[in-house]
Amino acid sequence: MKLENLKPAKGATHKNKRIGRGEGSGKGGTATRGTKGAQSRSGYSHKIGFEGGQMPIQRRLPKFGFKNPTRVEYQAVNVATLQALSEKLGVNTFGPETLIGAGFAAKGDLVKILGNGELTAALEVSAHAFSKSALAKIEAAGGKATVIE
């Protein structure tokens, strides 16, 4: 085998369809575009969602749903996560900055602490919201929860 002997596997390549090169090619005349209409003309381009005059799908389907403009979305962090982080990092004080640094929230996120899991360390936690169970677990472990306004 030499470099000059290399060629693609059999059936891997196809000949180009030579369109509009005379009647003898079988693809002359209309050049596979059909007769008449916008699509047969040069420079034709359709609008996004255009279906040839048929009622487009975005108009056939009904509108539904509602986006609440006043919805407040929180990034949830469980008590078990705080316990694991305090063991790993050796930190007893948690705020949104600590959680952002650890990758559990993004910059600008509102953080809510949820009560899933066990908590044994006495932690000082400041967040934008707490669930009732999370508050109970933090205080039962001898910690302190502060709500950020």
Question: pTM of the full predicted structure?
Answer: 0.59
Domain presence at residue 118? yes
Mean pLDDT of 34-55: 92
The answer, yes or no, to whether residue 52 has pLDDT greater than 90, is no
Q: How confident is the model at residue 133 (pLDDT cuts 50, 70, 90)?
A: very high
Q: What is the CATH number of the domain that holds 89?
A: 3.100.10.10
Q: How confident is the model at residue 132 (pLDDT cuts 50, 70, 90)?
A: very high
Q: Tell me if 19 is assigned to some domain.
A: no
Residue span of the structural domain in which 79 resides: 74-147
Asked whether residue 4 is domain-assigned, the answer is no
- The answer to whether position 105 is within a domain reads yes
* Predicted confidence (pLDDT) at residue 139 exceeds the cutoff of 90: yes
Decide if 26 is inside a domain: no
Domain annotation covers residue 96 = yes
Q: In this predicted structure, what is the pLDDT of residue 60?
A: 96
Residue 91 pLDDT class (50, 70, 90 cuts): confident
Output Rg (C-alpha) for the chain, integer angstroms: 32
Number of domains, the chain: 1
Q: Is residue 49 part of a domain?
A: no
What pLDDT is recorded for position 1?
84
Higher per-residue confidence, 128 vs 90: 128
The reply to whether 82 falls in a domain is yes
